[in-house]
Every structure is written in C-alpha cells, then in structure tokens.
A and B are shown apart, each in its own frame.
Chain A
Amino acid sequence: MKAWHFSENAYPYLPPAEEYESIRVSLPNRIYDPEKGAALYDRFLDEWLIAEDEGMEIMLNEHHQTATCVDPAAPLVLAALARLSKKARLLILGNPISNRRQPVRVAEEMAMVDILSRGRLEAGFVRGVPYEVLPANSNPVRMNERQWEALDLIVKAWTNHDGPFSHEGRFFHYRAVNIWPRPYQQPHPPIWISTTSAGGAARVGARGYIQATFLTGFDGTRTIYDAYRRGWREAGRGNDVPIDRLAYSALVYTAPNEADARAGAEKLLWYVTSNKVPPHIANPPGYVPVQANVAMLRGAEHPLSAFRRAATVEGAIEAGIMFAGTPDQVYRQMKKLYDHVGGFGHLLIMGQAGFLEHDDTVLGIRTFAREVYPRVREEFPGTAISGVA
C-alpha cells in the first residue's frame, strides 16, 4: 500500500455562500487576494514536502475557475515539486485531456516533469468534472471519445523514438510529432485514469492502467473495481489483478486523540460542504448519458447531491468517503472499506481542505504517516492480488 498526500490548493477566504451563486466557474476573481494566494502556494508546497519527509508520496490535481482548487496549470506546480522534492513519486491526477486541445503539448509537459524528477512521475489523466467544460469552452458531448484518442496519442508520442509521425484522427490532427525530451521512465511513466463509471473502469482495466476513484464509498467503489477486474480479465491480462492497479481517494484526518481528530475532520469537510454549484453548471448537456438525465428529471438524485448529503463527519465515515479519528480508528475504517471493495494498492489522502490550518494539516500527515501507514503497509502489501478475500 502506498499513501499519497493530496491537496487541492483551495482558496478558502470567501464571502458567505449565500452571497454567491457558485464556488466554481462564475465566482469573480476579485475575491482572490494575490498576497494570500502566494502564501497559500508556499504553504501547500511545504506540506507536500513534509509528507515526503514522512515517507508518503505526492499527488496533485487540476481544476479551473474555482476557489476549491487554485491549480489551473497543475504541470507548473508539478515542475516545481520535481525540483523541490527528492524521492517521492509525483502523481498528477490528472491532466484533463478531454479539455486540452493539444495532447502532444501534454505529452511534452509530462515528459519534462519526468526528466526533471529523474523518473518520479506518475501521469494521471481524467475526463474532467462537468464544471470544467465552461472554463475550457470544451464541448461536453463526446468527451470520452476525445479522452481516449488523446491518451493513445500521448502514449504514442512518448514511445515513438524514430522521428516524426503523423496523426490524423477524429479529434486531433498533427503532421509531425517528435517530442523532445522523451520520458525518463521506459517505456513511459505509469498511467493512471480516474473514473466514476463502471463502463469507464472496464476500459481502463482492459488497458491495465491504474484505476483511481474519488469518494465513491463502499458500493460505488466495489462496482468500479469489479468492472476494472472484469475488463482486465476479458482483455486476456490473466486472472490475477495486481492490487497496485487500484487506488482510492478519501478524506483522511488522523490525530493522536479523538477530540483533535474530530476537530480536524470537521474542517476537512469544507471540501464537501463548500462545493456550491448550481445544476446548470454541474450538469451540462451530454456529460451524463440520456437515460441518467431522464432519471434525474424523474426525481433521481444527482450524484453530486448524494455527495453533499454526506456533510457530517459521521455521514462521511458511514459512506466510506472519510477516514477520521485516532490511528486505530482510521485503520479500522479503512480496512472496512478495503475488505468491502476487494482491496486497493493506493490510498490518495485528501489531507487538507478549507480552513484546516498548516499545523493541523501537518499533525494529520505526521500522525497518519507514523501511526497508521506502517501498519497499513504491513497488512496490505503491494504484492497482493485484488478481489481476493
């Protein structure tokens, strides 16, 4: 089991939520104070490096036009981390390649970071959450198709070493692809994909890439992992699916005593409770299938509403999207999910949100790293086979 410290680089100094329509896309950036923002970047970079010192790996992500994640150009932060850090693996999860118009540019950015870090890059790719299509001006229809064509092109750009090749596809057109530098890792950095759908997971499994899923809880995660394992086997990759192919992201806060753990967990919930987004931004046409929209018009809950309902520490722990408490409590909560879903090899720890201040964030990182991580590494070895009780 590998544990990754993940911070969304949120900017929490906002007016009361009643005063704005949406924390994403339309929130005016006059609210953003560059001085405070600079201090936050310093702080979040420090926290990643502290996590590295504690033996954890580093993860970051990318969103646009939002106070929840002020990291609209994650490869830039990744490049900084490549120089600041020394040993941690560096996971970007991920590059929103349905919304990036130049996949070859993404291949170049990732190759650079892989070189800068001397082969520590873990390259993640995402379709992008629905709120991203307006900032990216990205057509919400046929995003999956764009994502897969872009990914295949990126892999080819990384692995072709014999001079220019051309690509005349459905969405992307290049006459001469021949990237410099090429990646440090051979044949290319590990590839991660995040998905929340079973159909997507089966496809990721067929390719053997690492499947990550975010805050999908007990049954949602099991469905996705089952689909991944099915896709893996049906593609002829063998019966045994290595545990290191599966990753789960949860809100995690660990402290030596229950009171401190509780206080930290409450602050971490900012990530859930502050995600105020109206339906017309959260659900652009074509992002989810027609039948899912019909079900919603018939009263079914939007997936994001279910997420927001888990807005208490108890509810979030119950749902399997948060592990919080003393080291022993965190271990047991995590094991319960681990056993339910058939295991996973990577825990992506959302360890900072909102007003969880630096000292509290560091306490959470250190307590987990020193009191939970050793036990987890021993009991959930990275050599295990997933889906085996």
Chain B
Amino acid sequence: MQRRSIAIAGVELDLFEDGNGPPLLFLHSAQGFAPEHPYVPRLSADRRLIAPSHPGFGKSSLPDWIDAIDDIAYIYLELLDRLNLKQLDVIGCSVGGWIAAELATKSPASVRKLVLVGPVGVKTGPIDRLDIPDIFAIPQSEIERLLFHDPERMRADPSRLTDEQLAISVRNRETLALLSWEPYMHNPKLLHRLHRVTAPTLFLRGESDGLVSADYLAAYARLMPNASTDMIVAAGHAPQMEQPEAFTKKVLAFLGAVS
C-alpha cells in the first residue's frame, strides 16, 4: 500500500493506493479508511485501488471553505484529473456513497460503474420523518445497534485504539456533523441531478442496516436510470466491515471485467 499527500484547493489529501489493473476509487464511510480494513486485499487484488481520506477525515486536512459533501465531490473530480484518470469504477459507502453520487452527477462520463453501499444523500420520505435516524441525537448504544448486525462483535473498543486512532475517530464524527447536519444527511438538489448518472449502478445494503432502510435504498435507486439493488445478509450499515467476503464478492461480480 502506497501512501502520499496531494494538495488540492487547500486540502492536504491523504491518499492510499494499492494494486495494479483497472482503477477503482473507494470512497469511505464516516468510519474512515484504513489499509488494514478486511475488504482491502480483495479489492486491490486485480485492481488499482485508489482510496483517499475525505477532507477532515483520517489525516486529510479540512480547510475553512469546505462545509458540504458537494465540496468534496469537486476535490475528487480534481483528483481524477491529477491522476489522469478519464474513467473508472467507483465504490462509495454511506457518506462516501453520497460523495460518489454527487461526483457522478457532475461528471457522468468519469464513472464506468458505480457501487453505492448504504448510501445517504437524498430525501425521499415524508416531510415529518427523518429518512435517516438522527445519529446526533441518540445514545451511542443505539447507534451501534443501528449500525451493526452484530454490535457485540463489531463495536469499537476505545481502550484498544491508540490516542491517534481515537483522535481520528472523534474528528471523523465532527467532520461528519459539519457536512451532514443540515439538511440532515442529504442535499436537496442531488435528487434532481441523479438522472444524469447513466453508469450501471449497484445499490447495496446490509440486511440489518438500521440507518439506510430497504425502502430508502429502493427509492434512491429509482432516481437513476440504470440502477439495481442488492442486499448482504448478516450485515448492518457497514457490510464491507461486517461481511467483507460477501461484500467483495458481490461488488467484484458487479464490476466484472473491464475491457
């Protein structure tokens, strides 16, 4: 795994790259990206995996001007230009799925195939109910129950993290709040832009995902002309962490061979 920092529009972007083959952009969830995550080896086995830490996440800096997911999509469009990538596959998990969807609406031709895993970013439900449960107003234990199929196994234990890891995890949550506080977990404009995304798109969710419901996923998928949905059993909001085998298998099968 190679790691380097790229300066884009005031962001010192922390970028991981691994493997050779057709390029694959991985946009992490609010949990952040780490090379030791269990899905990484399979994704980079036959692919050039490109995994930036979003501005304000991991070790990427957060300039004052960034306060929206939309801003980050533009950072990544510039990243693709810098890496001289005309077209590639994109996987986005949760808030990373939101970034991926924004990116795809802005530059549809850049995306060959798109995988959105428990994505947020649109508002499709009634006005008097949050589409995504308010993770900023419920107890940590409840968040874990919504996040995971098996909270006992998946829960992060602060005592096993270094101070640096703990600081990153706290900062990730802070940046998430900055980006998704209001409107909560969505950009009202995105819904009206998704028609532009013609790339084959797979919407995936863990069967036990308490944040992104099956109805939400289906409604989101209906906004794009070439989308399908699928599900991973015994997984919650982060199937890439909870069922990495099943996750990579489904994703790689969907992405298939690149001509």
Interface of A toward B, CB cutoff 8 Å: 25, 134, 137, 139-142, 170, 278-281, 284-286, 290-291, 293-294, 297-298
Q: A285-B174, A294-B163, A294-B167 are in contact. Are A280 and B181 (CB under 8 A)?
A: no
B138 cross-chain contacts in A, Cβ below 8 A: 280
Interface positions, chain B 158-187, Cβ under 8 Å from A, are 158, 163, 166-167, 170-171, 173-178, 181-182
Cβ contacts under 8 Å, B166 to chain A = 294, 297-298
Quote the shortest CB–CB distance from B98 to chain A (angstroms). Answer: 17
Least CB distance, A132 to chain B, in whole angstroms: 13
Chain A residues, Cβ within 8 Å of B170: 285, 290, 293-294, 297
**A280 and B143 alpha carbons, distance in the complex (Å):** 10
A-B pairs with beta carbons under 8 Å apart, 30 shown: A25-B137, A134-B136, A134-B137, A139-B177, A139-B181, A139-B182, A140-B136, A141-B177, A141-B178, A142-B178, A280-B137, A280-B138, A280-B139, A280-B140, A281-B137, A284-B136, A284-B177, A285-B136, A285-B170, A285-B173, A285-B177, A290-B167, A290-B171, A291-B167, A294-B163, A294-B166, A294-B167, A294-B170, A297-B166, A298-B158
Q: Once bound together, how far apart are the Cα atoms of A281 and B136, in whole Å? A: 8
Q: B64 contacts the other chain (Cβ, under 8 Å)?
A: yes
Q: Closest CB of chain B to A172's CB: distance in Å?
A: 14
- Residue of A279, A281, A286 with highest tally of chain B CB at under 10 A: A286
A137 to B184, CA, bound (A): 10
In the complex, what's the smallest C-beta–C-beta distance from B177 to chain A, in angstroms? 4
Closest to B179 in A: A141
User: Nearest CB to that of B176 among chain A residues?
Assistant: A285
- Please, which residues of chain B bring their CB within 8 A of the CB of A279? 139-140
Residues of chain B whose beta carbon lies under 8 Å from any beta carbon of chain A:
64, 67, 136-140, 158, 163, 166-167, 170-171, 173-178, 181-182
Q: Can you name the residue of chain B whose Cβ is closest to the Cβ of A293? A: B170
* Bound form: Cα–Cα A111–B175 in Å: 37
Smallest Cβ-Cβ distance to B161: which chain A residue: A297
Q: How far is the CB of A126 from chain B (nearest CB, A)?
A: 20
**Chain A residue at minimum C-beta to C-beta distance from B141:** A280
Q: How far is B173's CA from A293's CA once the two chains are assembled, in angstroms?
A: 11
Q: Which residues of A contact B177 (CB under 8 A)?
A: 139-141, 284-286
Compute how far the CA of A194 lies from the CA of B64 in the bound complex, rounded to whole angstroms. 25
> CA of A286 to CA of B179 in the docked complex: distance in angstroms?
12
Q: Beyond A141-B181, A284-B177, A294-B167, list 16 extra A-B contacts (CB 8 Å).
A: A137-B182, A142-B178, A170-B64, A278-B139, A279-B139, A280-B136, A280-B139, A280-B140, A285-B170, A285-B174, A285-B177, A286-B174, A293-B170, A294-B166, A294-B170, A297-B158
**Residue among B139, B163, B170, B175 facing the most chain A CB atoms (10 A cut-off):** B170
CA distance A139 to B68 in the complex (A): 12
Cα(A273)–Cα(B158), bound, Å:
30
Residues of B within 8 A of A290 (CB): 167, 170-171, 174
List B contacts of A294 (CB < 8 A).
163, 166-167, 170
- Closest A residue by C-beta to B134: A134
B136 to A, closest residue via Cβ: A284
Contacts of B181 in A (CB 8 A): 137, 139-141
**Which residue on chain B has the smallest CB distance to residue A297?**
B158
Contacts of B173 in A (CB 8 A): 285
Greatest chain A CB density within 10 A among B158, B174, B178 is at B174
Q: Report the separation of the CA atoms of residues A219 and B211 in the bound assembly, to the nearest whole angstrom.
A: 44
**Which residue of B has the minimal Cβ distance to A281?**
B137
User: Which A-B residue pairs are the 8 nearest by beta carbons?
Assistant: A141-B178, A285-B177, A286-B174, A139-B181, A293-B170, A285-B173, A285-B174, A297-B158
Which residues of A lie under 8 Å from residue B140 when comparing CB positions?
279-280
CA distance A293 to B158 in the complex (A): 12
Residue of A nearest to B163 (CB): A294
Asked whether, in the complex, the Cβ of B174 is within 8 Å of the Cβ of A141, the reply is yes
In the complex, how many angstroms separate the beta carbon of A308 from the nearest chain B beta carbon? 18
Residue of A nearest to B180 (CB): A139
Determine the residue in chain A with the shortest Cβ distance to B168: A290
Residues of B within 8 A of A139 (CB): 177-178, 181-182
- Bound-state Cα–Cα, A134 to B135, Å: 12
B residues near A278, Cβ cutoff 8 Å: 139
Q: How far is the CA of A278 from the CA of B173 in the complex (A)?
A: 18
User: How far does the alpha carbon of A281 sit from the alpha carbon of B174 in the complex, in Å?
Assistant: 15
For the complex, give the distance between the alpha carbons of A278 and B175 in Å.
22
List A contacts of B174 (CB < 8 A): 141, 285-286, 290
Q: Which residue of A lies closest to B184 (CB)?
A: A137
